[in-house]
Amino acid sequence: MFGGYIFIWLIFAGIVLKQTKLFNIEYINGMKVKRWNWISATILFFPIFWLACMGPAINDIPEYLRAYKIIPLTVSDLAIYLSTMDSGQGFAIIEWLIKLVFGNNLTAFRVIIAIIHSVPVILIFKKYSESYWVTMYLFVASATHIGWMMNGLRQFIAVVMILAVLPLMIKKKHIPVLIVVLLASTIHISALFMIPIVFIVQGSAGNKKTMGFIALAIVVMFILSKNPALADMFLEGTEYEGALTEMQRMGDDGVNPIRVLVSVVPVFLAFLQRKRIEREENRVIHICVNMSVITVGLNLVAMVTSGILMGRMAIYTSLYSFIIMPYLIRNAFTKDSQKLVNILMIVLYFIYYCFEMGVL
């Protein structure tokens, strides 16, 4: 099974690192929480990084390598090259900067991109998750590392750029967040979708704005299920014009319902604990729950349109559900049952990974 050794590493390294004192103690609402430090967090993540930059060139990687080779070196040639692009100029500039230093070294290109992907993920997960190990396991078991660090390289840079400003979202510093979103849109135009989202997720968990988004998603789901070509009308004039109809013609029948069910899990647990969440007034939890609600809405729409195109939008919000799962499990179950629930979660998510990878 591709990348299966990472699961072995997570278990082995997790057990070993747990015995060390490479963590910091924090108290959140009177609860003692062990935060992994940079050393232990990086050690646990390292095989994921290694696979991303040293693994086989699968999925879209060959196309990225081909594009990297043709990036011009001079500023004047780069300006001409950028003028021919409809979008993604920011990513081309990143490629150019890498090429200025490392030339046509394709390994260096993959390493730098993997570093850009990895650092924000490690930073935010270790800073805000009550259990970095569980969060990282969910990251792997959802095949995010393969689907994005080894496939949608350009879009995932935009995703982690926005993830990196979660501290600013928490502090409601909207202007800096919007600036980062606009910069991310020069990497991948789909990042513009996050402009309304950064406002929608503010407020209490499951507030009227996020629930309204779900209601809208359900309405859109039914409309598009009857007339898929209607979605293409909203994409006219973009690089994705006509893409939905073409993808469906080629057999893309939308996101698998199992993925939708998986995305519902944190939302369901949060619903059961909505009163506790409201009392604690933890802005991290509120934002992450609302992001999870939006993920469900996006997956519902993608289920009846395109798993390849529309399904890709959920990556902007799905990472936040990994952050809150340890919190939700701790509060939803007794201390004695938490171990059993965690074991069950590990097994079920591994089965889900096997399903996503085509093993089952």
Res 207: pLDDT = 75
Identify each DSSP E strand in the chain by its residue range: 23-28, 31-36
Per-residue tokens: 311: 């399904």
DSSP strand pairing (31-36 vs 23-28) = antiparallel
Three-class secondary structure assignment of 78-117:
HHHHHHCCCCCHHHHHHHHHHHHHHCCCHHHHHHHHHHHH
Separation CA 4–CA 36 (nearest Å): 24
From residue 252, alpha-carbon distances to 173, 226, 309, 310 in Å are: 39, 16, 9, 11
Res 254: pLDDT = 65
How confident is the model over 184-236, as pLDDT tens digits?
999 999 899 899 899 989 888 877 777 787 777 777 666 655 565 555 555 55
Residue labelled with tokens 């062990």: 34
Separation CA 306–CA 340 (nearest Å): 36
Separation CA 321–CA 329 (nearest Å): 12
From residue 42, alpha-carbon distances to 8, 11, 113, 156, 327 in Å are: 16, 15, 16, 19, 22
Count Cβ atoms below 10 Å from residue 153 Cβ, excluding itself: 24
Average per-residue pLDDT in the chain? Answer: 86
* 191, 209 contact by CB (below 8 A): no
How confident is the model over 12-41, as pLDDT tens digits?
998 888 777 777 777 765 567 778 889 999
Q: Is the pLDDT of residue 4 over 90?
A: no
From residue 1, alpha-carbon distances to 143, 148, 359 in Å are: 12, 18, 7
Query: Which residue, 279, 293, 273, is CA-closest to 206?
Result: 293
Backbone φ and ψ for 26, nearest 5 degrees, come out as: -130, 155
Best mean pLDDT range from 164-178, 320-334, 336-350: 164-178
Overall pTM surpassing 0.75 (yes/no): yes
Total domains, the chain: 1
Q: Is the pLDDT of residue 276 over 80?
A: yes
Q: Does 34 or 139 have the greater pLDDT score?
A: 139
Give residue 28's domain range.
Answer: 5-356
